[in-house]
Amino acid sequence: MPDLPPPFTTLAAPHRHDAVVEGSEFLAFAERADTPGAALAQLAALHARYPDATHHCWAYRILPLYRFSDDGEPGGTAGAPILRASEGQGVDHVMVVVVRYFGGVKLGTGGLVRAYGGTAAECLRTAPRETVRPRVTLSVSVPFEHLSALYHLLGTFDTGRGEEAYTASGVTLPVRVYPEEAEAFTAALRDATRGAAEMDF
């Protein structure tokens, strides 16, 4: 069985938290992101939604990858505090963008760190979470006469499944199972199909 990454905690849904500090508005947006491309697409969407904002500061954490940006704020006052907020809240596969509308009062470096980091941390603290447990993918092939047995087992076990491919003799499809259930699933499928099913990791 292939080595799998450990389980991680991420956001179950996009979340927003707003704060006003010395007249400046800070709008924090947090969302799950499984790739850097997905994270940057979220940033682009917020740029389009708030084109007149003073700054769009952000950080993503998709272990072992992370990146952040101060977007014109003094170095170290925005992106790094947002990233630290993600680490402090124990979430992974997450993109956080804090949109700022300048309110006329300069906050200073300490004030900016507190405003960006605090708004991001509160957004993540109040966001709905879920634990993601990696699965292994089995390539399962069964003759047509055992298709109903396969579908029954897919409903019995907590599985995910990919697209079916039809062959002359039956159906092949990828099935995603939790590692600790892989052995039980393969044994049950062999029994249900009287040994006719073929499975490969």
Looking at residue 2, what is its pLDDT?
A: 60
Question: For the domain 8-131, what is the CATH code?
Answer: 3.30.230.30
C-alpha closest to that of 45 among 91, 93, 97: 97
- Asked if the bond preceding 64 is cis, omega within 30° of 0, the reply is yes
Looking at residue 4, what is its pLDDT?
A: 76
Establish whether domains 8-131 and 136-200 are of one fold. no
Looking at residue 201, what is its pLDDT?
A: 78
> What tokens appear for 161 in the block?
């499944």
> What tokens appear for 42 in the block?
């979220």
Looking at residue 5, what is its pLDDT?
A: 77
Which residue numbers in the chain have pLDDT < 70?
Answer: 1-2
Question: For the domain 136-200, what is the CATH code?
Answer: 3.30.70.240
- The three-state DSSP-derived secondary structure of the chain is CCCCCCCEEEECCCEEEEEEECCEEEEEEEEECCCHHHHHHHHHHHHHHCCCCCEEEEEEEECCEEEEECCCCCCCCCHHHHHHHHHHHCCCCEEEEEEEECCCCCCHHHHHHHHHHHHHHHHHHCCCEEEECCCEEEEEEEEHHHHHHHHHHHHHCCCEECCCEECCCEEEEEEEECHHHHHHHHHHHHHHCCCCCEEEC
* Ramachandran quadrant class, 195 (left: phi over 0; alpha: psi -120 to 50; beta: rest): left
Looking at residue 71, what is its pLDDT?
A: 98
Looking at residue 115, what is its pLDDT?
A: 98
Looking at residue 22, what is its pLDDT?
A: 96
Residue type, 87: E
Looking at residue 59, what is its pLDDT?
A: 98
> What tokens appear for 8 in the block?
């991680």
Sorted by where each begins, the domain ranges of the chain are: 8-131, 136-200
pTM of the predicted structure, to 2 decimals: 0.78
